[in-house]
Amino acid sequence: MESELMIKPQLGMFGLMKESLKTIKTNGKLMLPLLLFVLLFFSYLECTQIYLIEPTRTDLASQLMQHPNLFQDFVINMHEAEYSGALNDIRKFLYVKLVILTFSWMISLVFLVAIVSSSSQAYTTKVQNPSEMMMKIKQSWNKPLVTSFYIVLLTLGSIFVGIVSIGVVYILAVGLWVYVLYGVVFLCSIVLWMYFTGLWVMSMVVSVLEEVGGVDAIARGGELMKGGKVKALVVAVLFYVANGFVLSMRNAIISQNLENWRRMVVFVVLSHAFLLVLKLFVFVVFTVLYHEQKESCDEKKAKSLYLPVVGGEV
């Protein structure tokens, strides 16, 4: 019996990625239509945003050339006639951004729930069919919603602590120590941001696959992250590097092709396709990591409960 309770060796980084690719391949027939739907939706939103915001940007840039101190004077003179155009541009920009972000966030939530639930089924038992996936989305969307809200609060709190730390360094440190401590705060901020990214994804996976949400899901995600922090951090770093590269290339290409809509739309679709595949892979990796860490935690708990009984019997 004791040999049956031995903790299984965990997958390495390459083993985790290999298992994730295997899960994606197993679940490919269900994921492909979902990817195409989300790709079309995001591409349409992106093109709509460019179409609505670009004239506003151009008008705001022309007003900035006429009034070099526009932003410095804007708060004080925002109701004056000469700044009414800038105020309308900013309002339109914020309205469009808010609507686009709301729709993007909603479809991203559905995408996450669908990918995590279907990947979990494919990894453990069987491949979901479309009706089962839709039922899971209907049942599970509210818990990830609450969890993401608390993660945002946690992130904002961390940002506040970082700003306070910078202020303390600025006030108390002198000479070379200023740059040293700024470097320490900067590196700690990067590591913490990577960790929060991993914790966010793991907590969302927990919210989809378990009957918990909000703070409980974050606590459960933190528990499952204990044995896989390094792998979660590596995945987060790779995601941000690839994501940043694609976004920078996309923005540079789009800015040079605003007059050529056909070429711009092609680049928008290609960039979103790459980003969606990247997000899909990250979600699947964390789903596999969830099952690995859950199995490890369950085995440790079973062993801790079993060994005292064995000792008493002996």
Chain centre distance of CA 82: 41
User: What is the model's pLDDT at position 229?
Assistant: 79
Whether 209 and 290 have beta carbons less than 8 Å apart is answered as: yes
Inside any domain, residue 270? yes
Distance, in Å, from the CA atom of 81 to the CA atom of 66, rounded to the nearest integer, reads 14
Inside any domain, residue 300? yes
Angle at 108 between CA 46 and CA 19, to 5 degrees: 120
pLDDT of the chain, 314 residues: tens digit per residue: 444 444 445 667 788 888 888 888 887 788 888 888 888 988 888 888 888 887 777 776 676 666 666 555 555 555 555 556 667 777 788 888 888 888 888 888 888 888 888 888 888 776 667 777 777 777 777 888 888 888 888 888 888 888 888 888 777 777 777 778 888 888 888 888 888 888 888 899 999 888 888 888 888 888 888 877 788 888 888 888 888 888 888 777 777 766 667 777 888 888 888 888 888 999 999 988 888 888 777 666 666 655 554 444 44
User: What is the model's pLDDT at position 72?
Assistant: 59
Reading phi first (left if > 0) and then psi (alpha if -120 to 50, else beta), residue 7 is in: beta
Domain of 258, in residue numbers: 3-308
Inside any domain, residue 86? yes
Distance, in Å, from the CA atom of 304 to the CA atom of 310, rounded to the nearest integer, reads 11
User: What is the model's pLDDT at position 257?
Assistant: 66
- Tokens matching residue 76: 């004080």
Provide the domain count of the chain. 1
- pTM listed for this prediction: 0.78
Distance, in Å, from the CA atom of 209 to the CA atom of 300, rounded to the nearest integer, reads 21
Inside any domain, residue 314? no
Residue whose tokens read 């590591």: 191
Inside any domain, residue 126? yes
User: What is the model's pLDDT at position 313?
Assistant: 47
Beta-carbon contacts of residue 83 (< 8 Å; ≥ 6 apart): 67, 70, 73, 74, 77
Inside any domain, residue 313? no
Distance, in Å, from the CA atom of 234 to the CA atom of 20, rounded to the nearest integer, reads 15
Inside any domain, residue 237? yes
User: What is the model's pLDDT at position 163?
Assistant: 85
Inside any domain, residue 221? yes
Distance, in Å, from the CA atom of 295 to the CA atom of 304, rounded to the nearest integer, reads 14
